[in-house]
Amino acid sequence: MIRNKYLATLLFLVCCIILYINTRSFNKVKELERSVEIEPQNFLSDDEFKNIVINDKKLKIGNRIKLPDTKPDGDLYDLKGQYHIMVPMSSIEDIKFFKSFYNDLETETICDLGDDRDGCDSYLDKKYNYYTLKQKTRDLFQKYCSSGQKHKLVAKMDYDAIIIDKQYFYKVLKFMMDNSDKPMYYGNPFYRDYGGISMGGNFYALNQKAMEYLCSCKMELSDVLAEDLWFGDVINNCTISKNLEGFDRINYIFNDQSKILHKNYNAKGVSLKLGRNINNKNFKRR
């Protein structure tokens, strides 16, 4: 009798182990299926691309383009593994809140040297302050370029970026990724006096071709103070140096300013404020 109970228990354990192994294998297969590149449904030929070009007389380099008038055909989960968002995290910004708020995004939380909080995905080699953000931005992108990673889109997102419309966000990512053969640069536009555009810092993105250009050029520091203006200058100067023509030049896409916000969002039933100066009496630009 005891022997039979022992055999029954052993058989039950073996079945549980087999079931566990099969479940893990199934989940791994599904994960691989999700990471396979989605068919580029929004790919545009050169002739089709001409239809989304906006005549912008302020521009002397590159092209300004608009998002096509198409409805989103999926969601962010479908793009898993194909894009990468770098989030430089200050020691006075709440990692737990950010990761919970944006747990559906493919983010890498990047902390300064010596930040021992849980939630830092990787580290830069230095400590930075408000006045060395230009160096931090350079080090952030150089770190990616030297990592050997390949994504169809790479973005820099600040802690105080507020993404209101995830379907719009999906549409932006999907379009830039599906047309990754043409260099694209997305964000809040700031026109530069030489005829190019730098994108503002709460969120900006480069697709694969634009990242290939960036990683092939030197990211030399200049006397431009604002890190995001400097970064845009680097991209523009890089593409200028390659003597590109047509749609091989940088293609700018503007954030419409209503779906990806900076610091504040107010609507019925919600008042949201983000930033290192919020609930921080000791905040200093240091």
What are the pLDDT digits (tens) for 60-91?
999 999 999 888 788 999 999 999 999 999 99
**Residues 120, 188: contact at Cβ < 8 Å?**
no
Cβ atoms of 106 and 83 within 8 Å: the answer is yes
What is the value of pTM for the model shown? 0.84
Q: Is the pLDDT of residue 249 over 80?
A: yes
Burial of 215 (0-12, 13-18, 19+ CB in 10 A): middle
The one-letter amino acid at 23: T
Percent of the chain with pLDDT over 90: 78
72 Cα distance to chain centroid: 18
For residue 175, the model assigns a pLDDT of: 97
The pLDDT value given to residue 121: 98
Q: What is the pLDDT of residues 143-154, one digit of tens each?
A: 999 999 999 999
Average pLDDT estimate for 183-192: 98
Q: What average pLDDT does the segment 168-182 reach?
A: 97
Q: Which residue stretches of the chain are H helix?
A: 2-35, 46-50, 95-101, 133-145, 166-178, 208-216, 227-241
d(CA 183, CA 209): 5
Backbone angles phi, psi at 179, to 5 degrees: -115, 45
